[in-house]
A and B are shown apart, each in its own frame.
Chain A
Amino acid sequence: MKAFVTRRKRPLAVLSVLTVAIATAVAISVGGAQARSSADELKGAGATFPAPLIAAWQQKYEAAKGVKVSYNPIGSGGGISAISNKTVDFGASDAPMTPDQFKSCGGCVELPWALSATAVMYNLPGLPNNLHITGPIIAGIYLGQIKKWNDPKIKAVNKGVNLPSLDVTPVYRSDSSGTSFNFTTYLNTVSRQWKSQIGRGTTVNWPAGVGARGSSGVSGVVSRTQGAVGYADIAYSLKNHLKFFSVQNRAKKFARPGLAGIKAAAQADRKFNPQSNELSIVNPPGSPRFAKAYPICTYTYVILRMQSDKANLLKPFVTWALTSGQQYGPALIFQPIPKYVVIRGKATLKKVHS
């Protein structure tokens, strides 16, 4: 019976298979089209680091220009993937894209659009905020060599503080993160062992501690674990009431991740990377100009496709963010970007067209 039916209806079978295949293809392409944003809305995704500032921008920009901007803080790595896969109109990342990432993005440009600092947070009940720490100590903790809070090295820079004999648990980002990039870039500059064994990147092979997803994951583990150390953007640690260190800079001064410290650090690098527009302001020199500098600061970047259907909306928005938008930064511990960075940004923006 079965064989009988098959033999007779074969042409029909082929036709039906084709119909199913075409219907599936149509369904998929329609779904893809719907996933892209509607006409007067800009969609972005990426780093959690600039998310508070972008949230402020969304509100102000929609009120001023009537253009809706949505932003999904999924992490720098996610932002780079999203713009590469054309699922968003702009991506955001704290780490400049690597040459490999530029290649897979296919016709993308990147420019710095905000400036802030990475705070090193800790959970030590009963002890005050802004304890002192140095770069080599942070590296020692993340290398697993400094294991107790009453280690002589930590005691030496915190005279008069009664540090407990508690285990130090370093916490890091397990996902691809620009904050990790900023943090490991810093560790690279303060520890030769870190540089030769671990290196810098959005993901590295952490030799000690535990990983957690996203800034929220890291600060969550830090706040639930006594003796933990973690890192996240300063706006995030402030919002979540976590204590953070004053970090010693190369002028041997202890600086907090505040606006003054970021502003001082931002004088450091004026040479843009020709492809990614990267400016590295991590651990600036020890000269008096940088006496107030906080050593773990970073620019954070926006990534655009040079050929974008939304160019007519994107360009005004990014220009606004580079200029008028900067005034909303200081309330969220984002230092307005220097003028030469704005000029460079506007020049890069000229490459974007519809």
Chain B
Amino acid sequence: MSVAQEPAAGPAAIQRRGRFRPGDAILYVVTCAAALTGVVLLGLITHEVLTQAWPAMQKFGLGFLTTQAWGDKGNTLFGAKSFIFGTVVTSFGALLLATPISLAIALFLSELAPRWIRSVVAPLVELLAAIPSVVLGLWGILVLGPFITGTLGPAIHGTLGWVPIFSTKPTVGSNMFAAILILTIMIIPIVSSICRELFVSVPAELKDGALALGATRWEVVRGVVFPYARAGIAAALILGLGRALGEAIAVTQVIGNRVAINKSLFDPGDTLASRIAGQYQGADTALQVASLVYLAVILLVFSLIANLAAQLIVRRVAGRHQV
């Protein structure tokens, strides 16, 4: 556009007020349009999803959330209960496993590791995030599944079988436990890389001060690093949770796709995103399509809540810091 024809804008050009400067205007308009696109897209998507889900929302109402069914009664009854259960269990399960590992990775790379190890390991951990989810899902089917049925599952069931969540022996590699492990692998790079950045940004004076007072490494971490980065850690965890909530392909490949609420993690289940990904194409009836989109509405609400929670936590903790 006309940007190329503009004379080079030096500091002097900026000083001259009142002159017509298309460059600034174009920059403003383009960035503003980009920002607006985000808002408009969100609005359009929400509108479209609600419109498409409307027949199912009308028919099932909020009872949809507490009904465990999918295509029952001659393909007329649908419900989201088991998918909500599966989504919550797999996402929080993954978060539970990923949190200590991610924090440990971040601490090691920011505080403890020698410089050369940092420069090698940090990019590699972040590279984990670059693995396409469909590839991770394939790995889940081919490697993780047989490992769970052959080695890990029998071992856990043998020692911890009295705990309800491990009460059955895995007969097949597709189960909720496999989904949790896959999701854990997916969110570790996100959480750990954000936390590493946070830990690195803790002012050196604070850490040095604590060390000068005779604190050990662990006391510095517990007393200075963690409190300083608290808000950021919470936000990072919720970002990871959001990733886990919405992951469809890798989960649908390993979770076993059953409409069921099982106590044991070694049994198959299904999540909201996985069900949508698996069945949206070629659904038999208009009601089934609408019900699938209803699941999408629920997922959208979940993600919204997770994001709002993240913002709230950041604001609250940051506010407390300033006092």
Query: Do A and B form a real pair?
Result: yes
Interface residues of A (CB under 8 A from B): 2, 5-6, 8-9, 12-13, 16-17, 20, 74-81, 93, 98, 100-101, 103-104, 167, 169, 171, 174-176, 199, 201-206, 209-213, 217, 220-221, 224-225, 227-228
B286 interfacial contact with A, CB 8 Å: yes
Q: How far is the CB of A148 from chain B (nearest CB, A)?
A: 11
Q: How many Cβ-Cβ contacts under 8 Å join chain A to chain B?
A: 127
**Which listed residue (A12, A81, A221) contacts B172, Cβ 8 A?**
A221
**10 A-B pairs with the lowest CB-CB distances in the bound complex, closest first:** A77-B282, A211-B257, A174-B257, A176-B282, A210-B256, A9-B25, A16-B29, A78-B281, A210-B174, A80-B282
- Cα distance A9–B29 when bound, in Å? 9
- Cα distance A290–B281 when bound, in Å? 36
Residue of chain B at shortest CB distance from A81: B281
By a CB distance below 8 angstroms, the chain B residues around A224 are 145-146, 173
Interface residues of B (CB under 8 A from A): 22, 24-26, 28-30, 32-33, 36, 69-72, 74-75, 141, 145-146, 149, 171-175, 252-253, 256-259, 268, 270, 278-279, 281-286, 288
A76 and B75 contact, CB distance less than 8 A: no
A201 and B71 contact, CB distance less than 8 A: yes
B172 and A77 contact, CB distance less than 8 A: no
A176 and B258 contact, CB distance less than 8 A: no
B278 and A199 contact, CB distance less than 8 A: no
- Give 11 A-B pairs besides A16-B26, A203-B288 with Cβ atoms closer than 8 angstroms: A12-B29, A17-B29, A17-B36, A20-B30, A103-B286, A171-B172, A201-B71, A205-B70, A206-B259, A211-B278, A228-B172
- Cα distance A37–B69 when bound, in Å? 40
A225 and B173 contact, CB distance less than 8 A: yes
**Which listed residue (A12, A101, A104, A203) contacts B71, Cβ 8 A?**
A203
A13 and B28 contact, CB distance less than 8 A: yes
**Which listed residue (B171, B282, B285, B288) contacts A227, Cβ 8 A?**
B171
Interface core residue of B279, B282, B284 (most chain A CB under 10 Å): B282
By a CB distance below 8 angstroms, the chain A residues around B28 are 2, 5-6, 9, 13
Q: How far is the CB of B78 from chain A (nearest CB, A)?
A: 9
By a CB distance below 8 angstroms, the chain B residues around A171 are 172
Instruction: Report if A100-B281 is in contact (Cβ < 8 Å); known contacts: A13-B28, A199-B74, A210-B172.
Output: no
